[in-house]
Chains A and B, each alone.
Chain A
Amino acid sequence: MDTPLEMGPEMGPGGPGGRWENPLLALELDMAAASGPLVTLSCAPPRAAINLRATEGLLPEIERTYGVRPSTTPNTWTASADGSRIALWLGPHEWLLLAPEGTAPSVEAAIRDARANDGWLGVCDVSHNYTTLMLRGRRARLVLSKGCALDLHPRGPWRPGTCAQTTLARTRVLLRVTDDPDAIELWVRNSFARYTVAWLLDAMTGIAHEPGDF
C-alpha cells in the first residue's frame, strides 16, 4: 500500500456527524446546584489538544507554525495573545498544545510538515482523551486542598501561568491556573470525569455559599 492512511483534515467534533457527547451532561444540574458565590464548578467547552514530544531545538519552529513558544520552565504554560492557543509544559520535552475545537488535524499536520524528517518529533491528537472542568471562586483552592497535596495557598507557587500534573483524590489530574488565580482548570481522562465531579461536588458541600471559616 502506497498512500498513508490518514484521517481527513475535517476529523474531529466539527467533522461528519459533529456529535460531541458530554459525559457530564447528566451532572450539570448538580454542578449548578452545588455552585454558589464562593465557588462554582462547570464544564469547560471542548478544545483541540495535541500532545507534543520534541527536543528544545524544535521549539522555534513549533512557535512559527503553532503560534506559541512552548515554555521550557517546568509547570508553566504560555498562550497566544487572544488566548486561543495555549501550550502547557507536561514534562521534559513534552507539552500539551491547546487550539480551537476541531483544528487538531491541521495543527498536527503543520507541525509535522515543518519538521518532516525529525525523528525525535512526536505529535498526537488527544482532543478526545480528556474532559475539562472549571473550578472558579474564592474557595476553589480550598476545595482542591481536600484532595490535592500541592501548596495551593494564593501566595504559594501555583499562580496564574502555572500548571501541574498531580493527583486529586484518587485520580490523576492536569491542573492549570488560569489568568484568574481563583479560576482553575482541571483536565481528567474521560473515564474519570464522573468520579472527579462527584468528588468535587462532595468537597463543595456547604461551602459554596457559607462565609464561615472552613
Chain B
Amino acid sequence: MTGRTQDFRLPKGGVIDRSRSIRFRFNGQWMGGYSGDTLASALLANGVHLVGRSMKYHRPRGIMAAGAEDPGALVQRGLHDEPARTDPDWRATQTALVDGLEVATIGAWPSLERDMGAAMGLASRVMGAGFYYKIMHGSRWMWEHVQEPLIRRAAGFGDCPDEPDPDVYDHRHVHCEVLVVGAGPAGLAAAVAAARSGARVILAEQDERFGGNLLGRRRAIDGQDGVDWAAAMEARLRASPDVRLLPRTTVVGYYDTNYLVALERVTDHLGLGPAAPGRPRQRLWHIRAKRVVLATGAHERPLVFGDNDRPGIMLAGAAQTYLRRWAVLPGRDVVLFTNNDRAYEAALDLHAAGATVRAIVDSREAPGAAMPAAARAAGIRVMTGCVVGGTSGTRRVTGASIMKRSTHGRAVPYALDALPCDLLLVSGGLSPVVHLFSQSGGKLRYDPDRVAFVPDRSAQALGNAGACNGTFDLAGCLSEGAAAGAEAVRLAGFDPGAARTSFAVDEPDASAVAPLWWARPAEGHEHAWGQPFVDFQNDTTAHDIRQAVREGFESVEHVKRYTLTGFGTDQGKTANINAIGILAEALGRPIPEVGTTTFRPPYTPVTFAAMAGRDRGEYLDPARLTAIHDRHVALGAMFEDVGQWKRPWYYPRPGETMHQAVARECRAAREAVGVLDASTLGKIDIQGPDAAEFLNRVYTNAWSKLEIGRVRYGVMCREDGMVFDDGTTARIDDTRYLMTTTTGNAAAVLDHLEDYLQTEWPDLRVRLTSVTEQWATVSIAGPKAGILMGRLASGQDLSPAAFPFMTWRPAIVAGLHARVFRISFTGELQYEINVPWHQGGALWDAVMCAGVGLGITPYGTETMHVLRAEKGFIIVGQETDGTQTPLDLGMDWIVSKKKPDFIGQRSLTRPDTARADRKQLVGLLPKNKRLVFPEGSQIVETGASRRPPPVPMLGFVTSAYWSPALDSGFALALVAGGRGRIGDTVAVALPSGEQAAVICDPVMLDREGARRDGHAA
C-alpha cells in the first residue's frame, strides 16, 4: 500500500485529535489525516494542492478557500465503494474526514494529471463571453449532435448514482423565539445573550465545530484563548434547556415571515453506509422564528490578475485557518498579494510557523501603519504600489511576477521582480455574507470605506451582527453579537437581563483597505500575462466582462447570464463582487449604480433526497382506500388511480386478459347481476330552509318540486356556462338533501358551493357538510338485481310502483340500516345501497353471499365506463374538458328555461355558446366492427387526410370501448354540428390511415329505457 505522509503537518498545534488517525483515498492513493480534519486540510497536509480541473478550459485548480466559498475543490465521494450512495460536488473544504473515505476528482478526463481537455485552455481566446449562447444560435443540428454532447462530456460535474438512494432523509418543523445563524464570535455572543432569558434559541452552524474564525486566528477574549472561549460558550449553551444547537447545519434559505430552511448533515461525518434506524443521513429543518440574528461572517475576495488560478494560489485568511486550525503549512515559499492591512497577519503567521515569506506585494502606495511595520520588523520585504501581474507553474504555482502600478493604476507591463513561491496568498478585502439577509428581502448598501456591500434596510424581523454586517474586528463582532442577541429576545417578549456587550480583545488595527478589482496590465499588454480569472468555477475572466460590455450588455443581471459569472455550485461567492467592480470600471459608473445580482436560495447546494425527505414511495401521495378495499384485493382486482383513490379497475380471473375480464363483467351486468364499489363518489349533506333554492341556483335544472324520497340528476356549470360537475341529489326530508358528486371533483365541488354560500349568497340559510366517508356504497345492477335486492331486504316492497326509478328508501339491508337509491348509471335495474362506512365490508360480504346462484360478478371502473357509454351517459372530465356546455352534450332537457337564474345561465346565450356548429356529443360506430378507436383520435371528413394540410378537424373521440352487448367497437365523440349529422360517414384519422365511422345517437343501447325496471332480462 503506497501512500503519502503528512509532510506539511506541523508537529504540534491545531484543533485536531492526533490520537485518532484517519486513512482515506484520493484518486486511488491512500493518505493520512486526523479526526477534526476536513478533506481539504488533510489533502494540504499531504502536500496536495491540485484537486480538480476547471469546467470550461480544464485548467488545473487547487484549494483556494477553507469554507463554503471555495469555487473549485469539488470531489466525487464513494464512486466505487458505494455506488448507490455516491455523491458528486462535495466541497473538500466542508467534507469531514472519515476513515476509509474514498474521493475522486470530478470533471477530469482521462485523469487529473493528464487531462485531454486542457487543450481547451489553448482555445480560450475563442471561447470568450457568451460562447455557449453563440454556438446555440448556430446550427441546431450541430448543437444537438456535436457541441452539446461534447460540452457535457468535457464539462461534467460528477456522476449521479444509477440506483435509488438507499438512505433515509427526513424533515422537521421547529419554532423558536430566536434563531442565530452562524456560531462564530458574533453568533456565539448573540446566542449566549439570548439564551439567558428562557426564550427558545436555535443556533445553527454549518461547520461541525463552533467558533468560526476564532479557530483560525490567534486571539484572546478576556484573557482566554479564542478556541477555548468558543468551547466555553458552547458548553454554556449546551447546558441551557431552551437552546438547540445545530452543528453541521447550513441555513440555506430565508423566506417570508421568518421561515427559514436549514440542511443538517446528520450522519455524513460518520462515513457512508447505513445509519442506525431512525437516523436520517440528512435532515431538512423548517424553522419558524420570531426573530433572527444573522451572524454569517464574511468571505475574503481573491484578486484578479494574470493566471491567478493556479493550484497553490490561496486566500490569505484560508491559509491562516489551515495553519492554526489544522496545523497545516500550505506552502513553504510564500508571497502575499494584498490590497488591505488585514491580510498581513497571514504572512506573519506563516513566517512564525517557519515558512519563507518572500514578499508582501501591496497594491496601495500607502498602506496602514501597524501591519507593514510588524512585517518589516519580522524581516519581510514589503513592496507597496505593486501588483502580481502574472504567475508561472502548471500543476502548482512556482513563481509570481511583480509589477509596478502606474499613476493610472494599470500594471506596468514588465516584471519588476520574479519571485519563486509555492504558495501565493491573495486578499482583495472582505465581503460580508449577506446572502440570507438579501434572500429575506433586505436591501444592501455599498460602503466605500469598507469596500463592501453591507446590510441596509431589513424587510423582516432580523438583526445582523459581526462580519456579515461589515464589522470585521473581533471586539466589534462580540459586542454587536451580544447586543443583537439581547435585542432579539427583548423584541420576542422576553427579558434578556443585563447583557454584557463589552469584551477585552487584543487585536492589531488592520482595517485599512483600498479597492483593487483587477491588476490590469497597461493598454496593449492585457493578454500577455495570462488569464485574469474572476469566476473560477465558470472560467469567467475580466476580459469576458469587458467583452460583454463592448457587446452592449450593461445590467449586472445580463452580464451575469452572458458571462456565467456567479452560476454553478458556489454561486460566485468569491466572484460576484469582483465582477461588479470590474463591470463598474468598464461602464465608468460607480459601484452603487451597478448594484448586485440577486441572492437566491439555496446558500449551498441541497440534495434532492433531502428536499424530498420521506415523500417517497407510499408516503409521497396518500392512497385513499374504501371500506371494501381488502375484499377487492382478495378478489384479485387490478386497481386504477382516480384522484388519490384506488378503485378496482377490473377483476381478472386466472389467465384472463383485461379485454376478456371486462367483456365478462359487462355481460354479467347486462344478463345477470354485477356489483360495484361506488363508495368514492363525493357526498354532501345539504340542510336548511333555503336548500331547494340553493340547488336551483347551482344546478341548471329545477329543484323546487322534488318530493321527499325522490332523486334527481343535475348538472352544474361554472359562470362561463361550461359543465363543472354532475351527479344525483336526493331529497331526504323537508329541508335536507344529499348531493353526490363525481369522485375526482368531491372537494372542488364542496369548495365551489361553500364559496358561493359565503360570498355571493350569505342570505341563504343553507349548511353543507361533507359526508363522503360517512357512507360506504355498494351498487348492484342487472336484470337479476331485483332478485338479489329481495334476498337482501326481505321486508322491502321492491315493486316499481312502491319503489320507482329515481327514488330512495330507508331499508334494513342484510341486517344493516341502509339508504337504498334506485338510480342507474348502467341503464339496468340498479340499486345503490349506502350503509355507515364501517359496515361497508359487511354489506359487501352479504351482497356477494346473497348473489350466489344469480351469477353475481364484481365489476370495476372499466366495465362501469363501458356500460354507461353504451347508454350515452357522460363522465365529467372524459366527455368534457371545461369547454362544453350542457347543450353541447345534448342535455337541453336539463337546462331550465323558466328559472330566473343559475350559475352559468347568462353565458349559455352568448353568441359563441349558442353557435350551431359547436362540437356536440354524438355516438360513433366504426364500419369495421372490430375497431376500438384510440381515445383522442381526430375526426375528419372522408378523404380529408389525403388532401394537403391544413386538414379541417371536425372533432375527436372522447371515449371508446368494445361493447359485448353491441358486439362492436363504439365511441362517444365531440363533432362540430354533430347532432345534425347523424347517419353521416366520417373518417377517424389513425396513424395507419383513415377509418370510416358512422355518426349516431350517443344512446346506443335500450333507447326506450326498457331495462331500467329489470324487465329486459
Contacts and interface: CB of A to CB of B under 8 A. Distances in A.
B680 to A, nearest CB: 8
A198 B618 contact: yes
A46 B175 contact: no
Contacts of A126: 769, 771, 774
A78 interface: no
Contacts of A5: 708-709, 732-733, 808-810
Contact of A4 (B624, B733, B773): B733
Given A128-B836, A146-B171, A151-B175, A170 B773 contact: no
Contact of A129 (B734, B774, B810, B842): B774
Given A23-B625, A53-B767, A16 B842 contact: no
Interface in A122-158: 122-130, 145-153, 155-156
Interface in B762-785: 765, 767-775
Contacts of A155: 200
B286 A149 contact: yes
Interface in B784-827: 808-810, 812, 814-817
Nearest to B176: A153
B624 A21 contact: no
Contact of B170 (A122, A146, A148): A146
A129 B770 CA distance: 9
Given A21-B627, A146-B172, A124 B771 contact: yes
Interface in A1-54: 1, 4-8, 10-13, 15-17, 19-23, 26, 46, 51, 53
A21 B277 contact: no
Contacts of B839: 13, 17, 19-21
Contact of B734 (A4, A17, A171): A4
A11 B836 CA distance: 9
Contact of B842 (A12, A19, A192, A196): A19
Given A7-B817, A128-B773, A13 B625 contact: no
A170 B815 contact: no
A72 interface: no
Interface stretch (A57-65, A81-89, A200-208): A200-208
Nearest to B776: A128
Contacts of B836: 11-13, 127-128
Contacts of B841: 21
B687 interface: yes
A12 B629 CA distance: 21
Given A124-B685, A169-B619, A15 B773 contact: no
A68 B276 CA distance: 48
B620 A1 contact: no
Contacts of B770: 129
A86 to B, nearest CB: 18
Nearest to A2: B708
Interface in A169-214: 169-171, 189-192, 194-196, 198-199, 202-203, 205-207, 210, 214
B174 interface: yes
B173 A206 contact: no
Contact of A145 (B174, B630, B645): B174
Nearest to A196: B622
A20 to B, nearest CB: 5
A206 B689 contact: no
B707 interface: yes
Interface residues of B, number: 65
Nearest to A150: B173
Contact of B773 (A146, A149, A190, A195): A190
A46 B735 CA distance: 29
A150 B288 CA distance: 10
B837 interface: yes
B838 A191 contact: no
Given A16-B812, A17-B816, A126-B774, A51 B842 contact: no
B312 to A, nearest CB: 42
Contacts of B767: 53, 120-122, 124
A207 B278 contact: yes
B815 to A, nearest CB: 4
A145 B174 CA distance: 7
Nearest to A123: B687
A177 to B, nearest CB: 16
B279 A206 contact: yes
Nearest to B814: A17
A210 B773 contact: no
A121 B627 CA distance: 30
B708 A170 contact: no
Given A5-B810, A206-B277, A16 B815 contact: yes
B615 interface: yes
B162 interface: no
Given A5-B809, A129-B774, A214-B278, A191 B170 contact: no
B614 interface: yes
A151 B769 contact: no
Nearest to A148: B173
Contacts of A203: 614
A146 B840 CA distance: 33
A198 B771 contact: no
B689 A119 contact: yes
A183 to B, nearest CB: 20
A179 B546 CA distance: 70
A38 to B, nearest CB: 11
B639 to A, nearest CB: 14
Nearest to B279: A206
A44 B708 CA distance: 37
A12 B618 CA distance: 33
A153 B200 contact: yes
Contact of A170 (B171, B276, B619): B619
Given A21-B842, A129-B837, A195 B618 contact: yes
Interface in B11-49: none
Contacts of B687: 122-124
B769 A147 contact: no
Contacts of A192: 622, 624
B771 A129 contact: yes
A114 to B, nearest CB: 16
B420 interface: no
A190 B627 contact: yes
B32 to A, nearest CB: 31
Interface in A76-108: none
Contacts of B621: 170
Contacts of A124: 685, 687, 767, 769, 771
Contacts of B769: 51, 53, 122, 124, 126
Contacts of A7: 810, 817
Contacts of B815: 16-17
Given A16-B815, A120-B765, A190-B773, A147 B838 contact: no
B688 interface: yes
B879 interface: no
Contacts of A156: 175
B618 A23 contact: no
Interface string B609-634: 00000110011111111110110000
A150 B709 CA distance: 45
Given A5-B708, A53-B769, A146-B614, A46 B838 contact: yes
B690 interface: yes
A40 to B, nearest CB: 16
A145 B837 CA distance: 30
Contacts of A205: 277-278
Contacts of B773: 128-130, 189-191
Given A122-B687, A127-B774, A195-B618, 6 more contacts: A16-B816, A23-B625, A126-B769, A169-B614, A190-B838, A206-B278
20 contacts: A5-B709, A6-B733, A12-B836, A13-B839, A19-B816, A21-B627, A22-B838, A119-B690, A122-B688, A122-B768, A124-B769, A126-B774, A129-B772, A130-B773, A147-B171, A149-B286, A151-B175, A189-B772, A190-B773, A195-B622
What 4 A-B pairs come out closest when comparing CB atoms?
A206-B278, A122-B767, A119-B765, A206-B277
